Structure 1
Amino acid sequence: MALEINKLVGGYSQIPVLKDVSFDVQPGELVGLIGLNGAGKSTTLNHVIGLLRPFSGSIKINGLTIQANPEEYKKQIAYVPETPILYDELTLREHIDLTIMAYELDHGEAWQRATKLLKLFRLDNKLDWFPANFSKGMKQKVMICCAFMTKAKLLIIDEPFYGLDPLAVHDLLDLIEQKKKEGVAVLMSTHVLDTAQRYCDRFVLLADGKVQAHGTLDELRAAGDHAGESLDEIYLHLAKGDRDE
């Protein structure tokens, strides 16, 4: 499996936000990480990409841990954050070159992939622009291009739809489908549950730092006697139940 999280306990300082979180993401599938604000989604992603150190438990990507082999572990991941992170002093062209160097990609092949992505998102005529010239949506598209031009085996995508126009959302979903066909594993955190229901293969539902349910939509329905209900309805039942306890 591409990503395996086992009994993860973690958070910030010494406060455990995540409590025995376990799930996996297989090659060629899109798993939706679903939860209300404060449920632990971003904390989970920050542990996977290595920004936080687990209190206990383990995270493996294709059998690698960040503790044993940090460089190879990180090369397995491409990350699209919720808030775009760009270098003010670098042009778009230089961001692409930086990505190529960071992942040690073949320069010519990587630029061929990047050029296709830049054309798709209508950024190919803005290679000499600086981030100050970009709107939030354009910055998000730059992050998507930099992530999808790599050969990473695991894509981590955090709330990707905010700031994107409808055409860009459609293009992003098509790119995810292409990556899945190439055997790439995709973990996507999102509040847009109707889109998640249509495109995700499985779901991990977080509440209060715990995995409340996981599986396909049919499995979630069967586990909670939610026959015929949407993902949105299933999650609301779980979230309200957790809040009322």
Structure 2
Amino acid sequence: MRTLWGEIAYQLGGVEGYRMLEEEDRTGVAPGSDVLKELFDRFSPALVLIDEWVAFLRNLYGEEGLPAGTFDQNLTFAQALTEAAKRSPRALVVASLPASDAEVGGGGGREALLRLQNVFGRLESVWQPATQDETYEIVRRRLFQPLSAEGYRVRDAVVREYVRYYREHRGEFPSEVLEPRYEERMRLAYPIHPELFDRLYEDWATLEGFQRTRGVLRLLASVVYTLWVRGDTSP
């Protein structure tokens, strides 16, 4: 396989699927939506997941004669792929696109992102990875093992200690920390305080170049490691 469409055809239908696009793969010419729909219909249900598409395309920008096809042919394929998926009842295309200029990578990357946004903008259903509260669970699963029965007991004791402290010093903290909802947020975020999440996701996430998911995980992993090495057992 030389091209993205040749690789997709092979992954969906093996040798038989690849034969349907062999000529287009060999010549680097993007297939039309009709043949892609036929591919989907024959080997459906089909789920096509494409990550780092912009990074792939920016390497083709301004280049000719590459086995993967030209920049324009690959964007023609993107349009044909989305149209074929729309017409095929049991096919779905999911692609991730960068959310910031820091992840785009130069003029070729910006052009690729703009063109892909235009292609998907006609048919897209935008999906946001997680709400802010849901990130608590995501980060905890990446950094910590699931809580045991003893872990839940410790968690509730820690939350009660914070609630007690906030009530005794109510004049020093925002009123929201005394609400039942905030107590529930502390349980959801445990063993990380929700205020730290708020600062990371509301303040740090606005900084140029800060990657919300990877940046938060790397920072918190470093903090957790330091506390673990120190043997810190404070609430």
**TM-score, reference length from structure 1:** 0.22
Provide TM-score, normalisation by structure 2: 0.23
Please say which structure displays the higher CA radius of gyration: 2
1 or 2, which has the higher helix percentage? 2
